[in-house]
A and B are shown apart, each in its own frame.
Chain A
Amino acid sequence: MAKILTLKEAINEYVNDGAVISMEGFTHLIPFAAGHEIIRQRKKNLTLIRMTPDLIYDQLIGAGCASKLIFSWGGNPGVGSLHRFREAIQVGWPVPLKIEEHGHADMASRYQAGASGLPFAVLRGYIGSDLPKFNSNIKSVVCPFTGEKLAATPAINPDVTIIHAQKADKKGNILIQGIVGVQKEAVLAAKVAIVTVEEIVEELDAPINACILPHWVVTAICHVPGGAHPSYAHGYYERDNVFCQNWDAIGRDRMKFQSWIEKHIYGTADFNEFKKSLEGEV
């Protein structure tokens, strides 16, 4: 049965320096509060996995928490570039960042393989692409039935997967609604799963085919309302597009970035204080 912990306790207990961490949410339900807590606890040398690094990994990379990034698309959706991500790759600031780059179809398949207990993923992928030349984890297999050559990549099995969801019930069953992304696979592939939620309710009262993660596949649940901000939680709040646009100027400039992290992350005790620190700021 999942434990109900504070986010501080969960990150402290399960996210160790050097660990392989996946934080998923496909533009929806991105676990920002958990990302902030990792920065606040000054975790180091993490391998970060995520299909779309987004602002959450821009912050973690810029704060020096990561030594390796495994990803398939690194941008600020609808806005432009991730400047901390770019600077880490282009000039190694604040610490060198190794990258392992895949495509979306592949990353999704790798999580599926991980969740299925299989050693590798197979897909009709990367035909004519240069990516396999620069990523030794993209190999190929020959289909034993047809002889077709297909792409093969290793399963993803993170030490810890962290996601954000709408609801948990008292037992720790999790309900995810709207764009469900790859979160189910990322949780089932991981050794430890931490889920932050908008609310903890008596009964989920979910439709019969809803996306449910039963309590016995979840390690810890943290009640963090608003914890996906500035991404959105379907049915709760919308994406904060203004924040995402303003991030461009903050992320572009080392000094601005550092003072933002100093004030809003290191300077706050938890996500509630973080939210208060944003009040009055555009």
Chain B
Amino acid sequence: MSENYTPNEMMTVTASRCLQNGDVCFVGIGLPSAASNLARLTHAPEVVLIYESGTIGAKPHVLPLSIGDGELAETADTVVSVPEIFRYWLQGGRVKVGFLGAAQIDKFANINTTVIGSYDRPKVRLPGAGGAPEIASSAEEVWIILKQSLRTFVSKLDFTTSAGHMTGGDSREKSGARGKGPTRVITDMGILEPDPETKELVLTHIHPGVNLEDVKKATGWELKVSRVLKVTDVPTAYELEVLRQLNSSTALKHGTVVTGD
């Protein structure tokens, strides 16, 4: 058992536990980067973190503020060009886990990071695709980490930037995309995994203390819940200590907390 923790910490710790020692992970900035580095600093010291700036095997002491921070280069096994990272390493099929954040997802774990509203007259213009469309269609599997709410879990995406399970069933398989697509969505409320047949996301884990009705209310479609809904293990004191130490040394270095919020 451990002391109190925040939903954000619960989410980050849960995501970090998904990574195994030696996994090769293509890491998005923000929450994916925090979770991956926590894994590296706790149970998975040999995890290989690849950032799209071309740093392979980065081992930063603090969380990077940008995807191309100097410390990523200094601690990497090698630094390659941006064309090379996307061609040989990502599209070449050398990445086990593509770890992404998102502004919106739908029930088939398709991702929007482009616009809220219409494309031509957006209500909110988001940053755009970055590396995500090819990460989503090239990695062996994809994990998505984001906070769960009606703003983020929507019945229909305003724009599909990166493909998840598309329209469900075998639609992804037929599309020519490589890999299994999203196998996990990790949120501040629990974990969702695609149904093996329909590919619709199913809540398989709920975080301790979270009410199932609240999870349903934070989902923009009728949420399917696993018949064997498990409760996630609470963060250990050690995990929290390492995460908080990482966040505070990050804040000291950058003058900010990098959580991807």
Contact = CB atoms under 8 A, between A and B. Distances in A.
Instruction: Please indicate whether A and B come from the same complex rather than being unrelated chains.
Output: yes
Interface of A: 26-28, 51-52, 71-75, 77-78, 81, 85-86, 89-90, 101-106, 108-109, 111-112, 123-131, 134, 148-149, 178-182, 184-185, 211, 232, 234, 238-239, 241-242, 244-245
Contact of A239 (B69, B83, B125, B127): B69
Contact of B82 (A90, A104, A124, A234): A104
Contacts of B52: 104
B129 interface: yes
B129 A239 contact: no
B254 interface: yes
B131 A27 contact: no
B128 A72 contact: yes
13 contacts: A26-B54, A27-B53, A78-B256, A103-B129, A104-B86, A108-B81, A123-B91, A125-B137, A128-B175, A129-B133, A179-B68, A180-B54, A184-B81
Interface residues of B, number: 56
B129 A27 contact: no
Contacts of A211: 81
B79 A180 contact: yes
Interface stretch (B10-18, B143-151, B159-167, B183-191): B159-167
Contacts, number: 178
B65 A73 contact: no
B209 interface: no
A182 to B, nearest CB: 5
Contact of B125 (A73, A86, A112, A126): A86
Contacts of B131: 73, 103-105
Nearest to B176: A127
Contacts of B79: 178-180
B138 interface: yes
Contact of A185 (B70, B83, B124, B178): B83
Nearest to A234: B70
A77 B29 CA distance: 9
B65 A78 contact: yes
A73 B91 contact: no
A179 B161 contact: no
Contact of B128 (A73, A123, A128): A73
B236 interface: no
Given A101-B128, A103-B129, A181-B82, A128 B29 contact: no
B83 A108 contact: yes
